């Protein structure tokens, strides 16, 4: 189904992004992904999936806080691949960049909030614009923004991220409305709290994990691999009449 096609995903070296890289490669899809700092980690993943699945893989450094540099990354992509079929906007920021954006409402600051917007909404826009130019040449494609249910359910300290996930889901709908005529579908995949390094970095990680397990009818945390199936579906012909939607995968935690 995906043999000979190409996926480009931002943030492919760990967590959800890494799980998606492996899932698509296992289906015979060539994979390009970005990384923030560790070229060694990226190269280890490339060597592993190329040897396991016989596909072509490349990685490019990208500072998600400088979305315009996506254009330079895509120029490198063009040297390595002759087509683009799927784009997934996945990379996020953490650490010092989100100071003032991650915390209680009364401690929120414009700079931290703006950084999250740049990395979430601006980066999706530029990444998807560049992807669409290339997808149009092959008759269409599928674009996905990863999102989270933090825009649906109150999550402590998550106002900055949750608000920007709501914004990127709105942007997905606008992109879908305008790119459909090019044969390009645009959707979002919204995950509940997923047990990744990013979540473990939260100061209240254990509290969040306990609450998720308590609220989920399935009585467990989400794993990165739990989101790969929806991404595969949205990039397949099985979802050929589906665009402008947000698929929620949350272990049932948002309706309780």
Point out the residues that are catalytic.
158, 165
Question: How far is 93 from 153, CA to CA, in rounded Å?
Answer: 21
**Calpha distance 193→150 (Å, rounded):** 8
Q: Do residues 179 and 186 touch, judged by C-beta distance below 8 A?
A: yes
Please give the C-alpha separations between residue 187 and each of 61, 73, 125, in angstroms, as whole numbers. 25, 23, 13
Q: Which two tokens stand for residue 76?
A: 């490198």
Structure tokens at 172: 């997905």
Pairing assessment for the beta strands 30-35 and 86-89 based on DSSP bridges: unpaired
Interior angle at CA 180, CA 165 and CA 77, nearest 5: 70
Q: How far apart are CA 130 and CA 208, in angstroms?
A: 36
Distance of CA 223 to the CA centre of its chain: 15
Q: DSSP for 13-41?
A: SSHHHHHHHHHHHHTT-EEEEEESS-HHH
Backbone φ/ψ region at 100: left (φ over 0), alpha (ψ -120 to 50), beta: left
The tokens describing 153, both together, are: 């359910």
CB 53 within 8 A of CB 22: no
């Amino acid at each position: 189904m995906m043999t000979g096609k190409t996926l480009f995903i931002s943030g492919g070296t760990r967590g959800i992004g890494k799980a998606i890289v492996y899932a698509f490669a296992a289906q015979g899809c060539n994979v390009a992904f970005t990384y923030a700092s560790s070229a060694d980690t990226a190269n280890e993943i490339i060597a592993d999936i190329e040897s396991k699945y016989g596909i072509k893989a490349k990685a490019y450094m990208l500072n998600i806080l400088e979305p315009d540099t996506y254009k330079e990354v895509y120029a490198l992509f063009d040297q390595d691949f002759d087509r683009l079929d799927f784009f997934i906007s996945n990379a996020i920021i953490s650490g010092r960049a989100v100071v003032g954006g991650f915390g209680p409402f009364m401690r929120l600051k414009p700079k931290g909030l703006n950084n999250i917007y740049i990395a979430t909404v601006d980066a999706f826009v530029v990444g998807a614009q560049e992807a669409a130019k290339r997808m149009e040449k092959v008759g269409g494609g599928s674009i996905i923004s990863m999102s989270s249910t933090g825009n649906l359910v109150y999550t402590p300290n998550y106002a900055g991220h949750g608000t920007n996930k709501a914004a990127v889901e709105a942007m997905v709908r606008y992109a879908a409305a305008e790119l459909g005529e090019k044969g390009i579908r645009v959707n979002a995949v919204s995950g509940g709290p997923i047990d990744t390094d990013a979540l473990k970095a939260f100061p209240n990680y254990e509290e969040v994990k306990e609450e998720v397990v308590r609220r989920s009818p399935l009585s467990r945390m989400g794993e990165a691999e739990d989101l790969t199936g929806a991404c595969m579906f949205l990039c397949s012909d099985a979802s050929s009449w589906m665009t402008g939607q947000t698929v929620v995968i949350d272990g049932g935690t948002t309706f309780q």
